Amino acid sequence: MLTSLITANTTLDVNYTTTVGGEALNRPMSDTEICGIIFDGFLGGTDITANTISFIVYYLAHYPDVKKKMMEEIDRTFQGDKTGPITEDDYQKLKYCEAVIKVVSRLFTVVPSIVKGTAKPDEIAGYIEGSESKKLSFLMFGGGLRICPGRKIAMIELVCLLYRKYEIDLVDMNAPLNVESIGITACNELLVKIKPRN
Ligand code: HEM
């Protein structure tokens, strides 16, 4: 990752291009810019992913039908194999899991500062919502040139890793979700019981 950041916009860059959308890319990144991107990578790879997992665990515990359907899809895909490498083909089969992650991310968006719009005018609980451009309407990972570069690995982690190996339940089903929004929407505490799946 560091190599690609240092070589970006130089002739050593395998994707070297001099312009994007008509705008000149005429210098490599500064050390400060590289530090910023590396920091985002650490944050995305730990905090944002961990918070997203917490919200998924919470919601699945409260929607057992959805959880059952998701586990069935995982079992159909991996056929009981809990440790083997995950292939692109496996990932492509986990459509229901992907949908669950996206719905939970809509309900509890860990990075909430990305503006969302509806695809067409709609009314929800008496409130009329306007419509905006369809493109980039789901912004779990942002969009455009600065779209999250960790999105593929994050989805693989979220879709394939957790429920394939473990059973996860809440310690207290009545405990409210303990959430704080300070730049990112963080789950302060979620007490869970985890055991290996039979
Ligand atoms: C569920 C997990 C994750 C979510 C929801 C998420 C979300 C986001 C969002 C919304 C942005 C801002 C994009 C924009 O400005 O349009 C972003 C940027 C970024 N993410 Fe993620 N991310 C996740 C996981 C990861 C992982 C696992 C990595 C690294 C391995 C990562 C690395 C980065 C980096 C480096 C940026 C900055 C990109 C730039 O400024 O050009 N993220 N992420």
Q: Indicate the Cα dihedral angle 73, 74, 79, 81, nearest 10°.
A: 180
Structure tokens that stand for 70 in this block? 């998701």
The alpha carbon of 161 and the centre of ligand 1 are apart by a number of angstroms equal to 19
Structure tokens that stand for 105 in this block? 């991310």
The reported pLDDT for the residue numbered 137 is 63
The reported pLDDT for the residue numbered 115 is 63
**Mean pLDDT across the stretch 84-93?**
89
What CATH number does domain 2-6+28-196 carry, 1.10.630.10, 3.40.50.12710, 2.40.10.10, 1.10.150.120? Answer: 1.10.630.10
pLDDT of 116 over the 80 cut: no
Model pLDDT for residues 52-64, shown as the tens digit of each residue:
999 999 999 999 9
Q: Could you state, in order of their start, the residue ranges of all structural domains in the chain?
A: 2-6+28-196
Structure tokens that stand for 17 in this block? 């291009």
Ligand 1 interacting residues, C-beta cut-off 6 A:
37, 40-41, 44-45, 48-49, 52, 110-111, 114, 140-143, 146-150, 153-154
* Mean pLDDT of the chain, nearest integer: 86
Rounded distance between C-alpha atoms, residue 66 and residue 64, angstroms: 5
Phi, psi torsion values for 35, nearest 5 degrees? -60, -45
**Mean pLDDT across the stretch 22-43?**
87
Q: Closest residue (by CA) to atom 11 of ligand 1?
A: 148
Structure tokens that stand for 116 in this block? 């969302």
Q: Closest residue (by CA) to atom 40 of ligand 1?
A: 146
